Amino acid sequence: MVRSQVKRKVLLKIEDLLRLNLIKPDTVLVDTRLGTKATLQSDGSVRIASTGEIKSIQNWLKSIYNWSAVQSFKFLKVESTGKLLYDLREEYYESDEEALDPDGETAGQGSADQSGDLSDTGSVDHNG
């Protein structure tokens, strides 16, 4: 298949999950490895339970792991349900084969994954 014909789904970001009401502000998120908690804010940032600081999800996880990037959707779960953010996103895609990307276009339109989110790149530097 010619590369220009390959279609990829656009990965939803945390802000998209909020907009689609798949997750709500004030949801407690739990890091699956260390058990640290933070409360999701309406803008997609989190308030860290132990310090009260507000950070982006990526910066929060990078600081606790001391890594340069973290796959946040695979490392965070919703405390009340135990579901990973990754699973919430996948359930959305499964429920709507023609899932819309954040700009309202059918997923896969465009040239490549346009998420721009390091949390979903698959490259994790465990050495910091």
Check which CATH number belongs to the domain holding 80 and give it: 3.10.390
Torsion of CA 123, 22, 89, 108, to 10 degrees: -100
Burial of 41 (0-12, 13-18, 19+ CB in 10 A): middle
| Structural domain for 30, as ranges | 14-96
DSSP state of 119: G
Count how many domains the chain has.
1
pTM of the shown model = 0.70
In a domain, 19, yes or no: yes
pLDDT of 50 strictly over 70? yes
pLDDT tens figures, 79-110: 999 999 999 999 998 887 655 555 555 443 33
Query: Would 128 be classed as within a structural domain?
Result: no
Any domain includes 21: yes
Q: Is residue 60 part of a domain?
A: yes
Q: Which helix (H) or strand (E) holds 37?
A: strand 37-40
